[in-house]
A and B are shown apart, each in its own frame.
Chain A
Amino acid sequence: MSTGTLYTYPENFRAYKALIAAQYSGAKVKVADNFKFGETNKSAEFLKKFPSGKVPAFETAEGKYLSESNAIAYFLANEQLRGGKCPFVQAQVQQWISFADNEIVPASCALVFPLLGILPQQKNTTAKQDVEGVLAQLNQKLLNVTYLAGERITLADIIVFSSLLHLYEYVLEPTARAAFGNVNRWFLTILNQPQVQAVVKDYKLCEKALVFDPKKYAEFQAKQGGGKPQQQQKPKDEKKPKEKKEAAPKKAAEAEELDAADEALALEPKSKDPFDAMPKGTFNFDDFKRVYSNEEEAKSIPYFFEKFDAENYSIWFGEYKYSQELSKVFMSCNLITGMFQRLDKMRKQSFASVCLFGEDNNSTISGVWVWRGQELAFPLSPDWQIDYETYDWKKLDAKSEETKKLVTQYFSWSGTDKDGRKFNQGKIFK
């Protein structure tokens, strides 16, 4: 029988997987006491054992080291949890583990972390739809089966269950979960297994969904920045007095979960901005955008050319490829604003003026874009690649007179397109 020590902060849903598995197999697992998130797991001693510095991490009694929660749960499980003797059921278990990691966790984190104040509120995210999509898939599956793999509880159930804990605790209020009756039934069945109850204590299903509170987020950021995570407050106000001491590790701990979340969804703009890798140069987008918004074009456009740093920034002309398909003007405008929304994270290091020329059923879309770096920016991030291929991109020579004209025309929303259609509407990406 396996014995060993598990390193984790309290109430870590990833650690639950291992602890529940151990309840089933009878493996003796000691949770390391005195574990301090951000200290213990960053110490030289810990990093020697677990180079990633992430928790949960497991040290066997024989002094072997295992990281990654699914692997630890597998190690601590028994035959039934691993899918029994049938290779097909074993494969199904793996299938659901991947589903949990790739589908549920990213969607759940994107939805729940802003509510807990760990991440900024994102506009126009698809998090809610993603979560609903995942739940709908599970609901369909669980209409016909009692457990996810085979006819016994397996790691598939435990790991998918653990990945849903945040959602059922913070977001899925009764009306929100009503549509997923089969998932609810299954979730309650798993939650109420004695082996699960022994690990997940005092868990309550959501009564009222959390809403985003900008203050909470600001506090969290301030404290993060201050480098004193020990003094952070727990997001759940009602529990504050009782758990003041516990609050620190939990809060910091949730930031750790963020580390582990899927990169595309861990939306921390600072570290994830691909433009960071490029030299900053002398051109300041914020300053220019301020001037552009507050001053007449007669001032702001000369300002642009005066400040523009051609070495580190580039100007591009983008023209919509399928203009013959454009029909109503408002639909074309939605096309532009939709693209802007999807490029949200590019905003900081770019500026664009995209204009619609012509009228209903006879229009074109084109725009002038400016961003950091000399290459086409969109391939830098998978998030930015949705729309750009529907445009023809041409890099403009920043020094030429022609470019100046074009920039002036687009920035001041005037003139016509190349076939003489009149300017209709413009949209600014800033």
Chain B
Amino acid sequence: MCDVAKVQKIAHCLGVAPGNVQLNEEQVVTRTSAKQGAVAGFATILESLANESKSETAQNSKATREVEAQVYQWIEFSVLYVAPGSKDRNVAKQLLAELNKLFATKSYLVGHFITLADLAVYYAIYDLVKSLSPVDKEAYLNLSRWFDHLQNRDDIHQGEPLLNFTTIYLHGWATGTHI
């Protein structure tokens, strides 16, 4: 998923008009809106979207200063590491394993509620998760749970067909499978 599409999706999630989103001549994503004029760069655009939004997710992302800082840390992480890394098989494997470990003890990336960090990483990792085979997904059950939780929210899947995690549910009650 390219940055332009990601920004548009996240704008929809937050219930904000995306405005005019495109890549400038330096291939940096920019957003031009009536309220805030032109803004460049993925993280900055997400901040501008959150400022316009009254959604639960946007509110959560600004719950405390600490949360706010962590959210932007994850957004940067998604830009610098998740998006490029998911194109390399070995890096991707490591990335999935790390996220999977993280979600063993947490329901969301930051705090205990959905924030922009989840959205940024979700859309950054979407294509990678989509490319996984059912058996691959079984190796990342915690990550799959988080992903499946997010994709089932109307505001996030936005009409796209849901990725199939069914075999994972089968795994849940089939006895004698590997855990």
Contacts and interface: CB of A to CB of B under 8 A. Distances in A.
B35 interface: no
Nearest to B151: A151
Contacts of A184: 105
B104 interface: yes
Interface size of A as a range? 10 to 19
Contact of A146 (B63, B111, B146, B168): B146
Interface in B148-172: 148-149, 152-153, 165, 168-169, 172
A193 B144 CA distance: 22
B105 A144 contact: no
A173 to B, nearest CB: 17
Contact of B107 (A141, A185, A194): A185
Contacts, number: 46
Nearest to B107: A189
B145 A189 contact: no
Interface string B98-115: 000000111110011100
Contacts of A147: 149
A144 B168 contact: yes
Given A140-B172, A185-B104, A189-B107, A146 B149 contact: yes
A324 B122 CA distance: 65
B82 interface: no
Interface in A170-191: 181, 184-186, 188-189, 191
Chain B interface size, as a band, is 20 to 34
A331 interface: no
Contacts of A186: 107
B92 interface: no
A79 B112 CA distance: 21
A129 interface: no
A192 interface: yes
B107 A144 contact: no
Contacts of B142: 143
A47 interface: no
B13 interface: no
Given A151-B153, A192-B112, A193-B113, A144 B148 contact: yes
Contact of A181 (B104, B107, B108, B169): B104
B62 to A, nearest CB: 13
A145 B145 contact: yes
A145 B144 CA distance: 9
Nearest to B108: A189
B83 interface: no
B50 interface: no
B141 interface: yes
B149 A145 contact: yes
A181 B148 CA distance: 19
Given A143-B172, A151-B149, A185 B105 contact: yes
Contacts of B145: 143-146
Contacts of B111: 192
A140 B172 CA distance: 7
Interface in A140-159: 140-141, 143-147, 151
26 contacts: A140-B173, A141-B172, A143-B141, A143-B142, A144-B141, A144-B145, A144-B148, A144-B165, A144-B172, A145-B145, A145-B148, A146-B149, A151-B149, A151-B152, A151-B153, A181-B104, A181-B105, A184-B105, A185-B105, A185-B107, A188-B105, A188-B112, A189-B112, A191-B112, A193-B112, A193-B113
Smallest CB-CB A-B distances: 4 pairs: A192-B112, A146-B149, A189-B107, A151-B152
Interface of B: 63, 104-108, 111-113, 141-142, 144-146, 148-149, 152-153, 165, 168-169, 172-173
